[in-house]
Structure 1
């Protein structure tokens, strides 16, 4: 069974965002979801996370339609900060433990230490980059089957990106699937097993990173620039 199976997915707001999109992804890989702004990357992740239900088409996550039950094994991080900033980091952790049975507080504390983040500080006292790291730590601390990270490193400085990328690699379970949506292709390329290019609401390319490097003799960013 594939981790994700999508057939003829259509989604419209004022205009069509996703257009007869087809996509199959297996477990055991880290996938980069890339494309120009407005191509539907965030919408696609929201559908997979079970947060957007007004689409048309067939979408299966671990064999079932995204919804309330799939949220128990899908860890989703939105592109905008979504936590209650009046809480402390510890209180935020305790909230996640209440909502998600698979949340690992020991893993979370280890990630906090790796990111050099305080445990008792209020979220509102932190910089944007620190808040982004908190969200990443929370998302990665679930023992989920599927991880959906929407622009997880856009708000952090270049020196912190390596720490985050190392943390993702260190905590990735080879029996899971991790999808990263980003425009910082060069920064995440060392992470990726596969890249999915989204254009005009369709999958323009779904290929292994090794194929692009070996056959096209290009980096992912160079190939993306040439294509788009």
Structure 2
């Protein structure tokens, strides 16, 4: 099931396959993602979510097929147009929160100091704290600030809620919604936390075994299945 939309396109993928030695990670992906939307990328472990996001970020390349982000093929030069938040935590533990944000900001000309300050307050982080003293949830909030403080057309978030407490998940979701600029940004968010994330999503993509199983608007899916996205998840992957 694939939704057809005539809105301006942020991401266009045609016939994309990705193979790692003996593993087929993506197996014939055709996809269009419209500008100005928050898209949920859902699926069990190994379904291809992280591979797809890394490909959009220009960190890896397809074995075959084409991918365009905002009209051009993604590569390392696109980093000024894309904010990518990986699942892996690569923060320096010896830095303070303030030093971490200053360090990251030096790499990007689009860094918004005022926005970073507002997000720091919203996430309830003390800029004087050392990263090594932060809980996993606090570190996740800090990583999200690093992504959302940039003024870019595309934001890619890979499992931003992985293994963190409900309070941190709530703060992160609130910040994503409150800071989202529909006229300027597109956000793709990979997550297993479907219940909490559901209110954010304009569109939803369900991946399975490197293929798109379902792609439609969240509203259409809830209407068609007569239940929440969380319940749809259970039906799709039962």
Flag whether TM exceeds 0.5 (same fold): yes
* Counterpart residue number, 1:213: 222
Question: Among 37, 40, 51, which residue is 1:32 paired with?
Answer: 40
1:186-207 CA-to-partner distances (Å, cap 9, x unmatched) read: 1100111110000111111110
C-alpha distance in structure 1 between counterparts of 2:209 and 2:228, whole Å: 23
Question: Among 171, 174, 186, which residue is 1:177 paired with?
Answer: 186
Question: In the alignment, is the contact (CA less than 8 A) between 1:6 and 1:59 conserved in 2?
Answer: yes
C-alpha distance in structure 1 between counterparts of 2:35 and 2:180, whole Å: 11
Post-superposition shift, 1:54?
Answer: 5.3
C-alpha distance in structure 2 between counterparts of 1:227 and 1:121, whole Å: 43
Question: In the alignment, is the contact (CA less than 8 A) between 1:186 and 1:220 conserved in 2?
Answer: yes
Post-superposition shift, 1:67?
Answer: 0.8
Post-superposition shift, 1:82?
Answer: 1.6
Q: How many residues align?
A: 228
1:30-57 CA-to-partner distances (Å, cap 9, x unmatched) read: 0000011101101111111111135321
Partner of 1:69: helix, strand, or coil? Answer: helix
TM-score (norm 2): 0.92
Question: Among 134, 139, 143, which residue is 2:151 paired with?
Answer: 143
C-alpha distance in structure 2 between counterparts of 1:47 and 1:55, whole Å: 11
Partner of 2:95: helix, strand, or coil? Answer: coil
C-alpha distance in structure 2 between counterparts of 1:54 and 1:92, whole Å: 32
C-alpha distance in structure 2 between counterparts of 1:83 and 1:148, whole Å: 18
Please say if 1:70 is aligned against 2:78: yes
TM-score (norm 1): 0.96
C-alpha distance in structure 1 between counterparts of 2:72 and 2:107, whole Å: 21
Stretches of structure 1 lacking an aligned partner (at least 5 in a row): none
Question: Among 26, 50, 53, which residue is 2:58 paired with?
Answer: 50
C-alpha distance in structure 2 between counterparts of 1:35 and 1:78, whole Å: 17
Please say if 1:12 is aligned against 2:19: yes
Please say if 1:2 is aligned against 2:31: no
Stretches of structure 2 lacking an aligned partner (at least 5 in a row): 1-7
C-alpha distance in structure 2 between counterparts of 1:127 and 1:59, whole Å: 37
* Counterpart residue number, 2:4: none
1:51-75 CA-to-partner distances (Å, cap 9, x unmatched) read: 1135321011111111122111100
Partner of 1:148: helix, strand, or coil? Answer: strand
Question: Among 198, 204, 207, which residue is 1:195 paired with?
Answer: 204
* Counterpart residue number, 1:223: 232
Question: In the alignment, is the contact (CA less than 8 A) between 1:10 and 1:55 conserved in 2?
Answer: yes
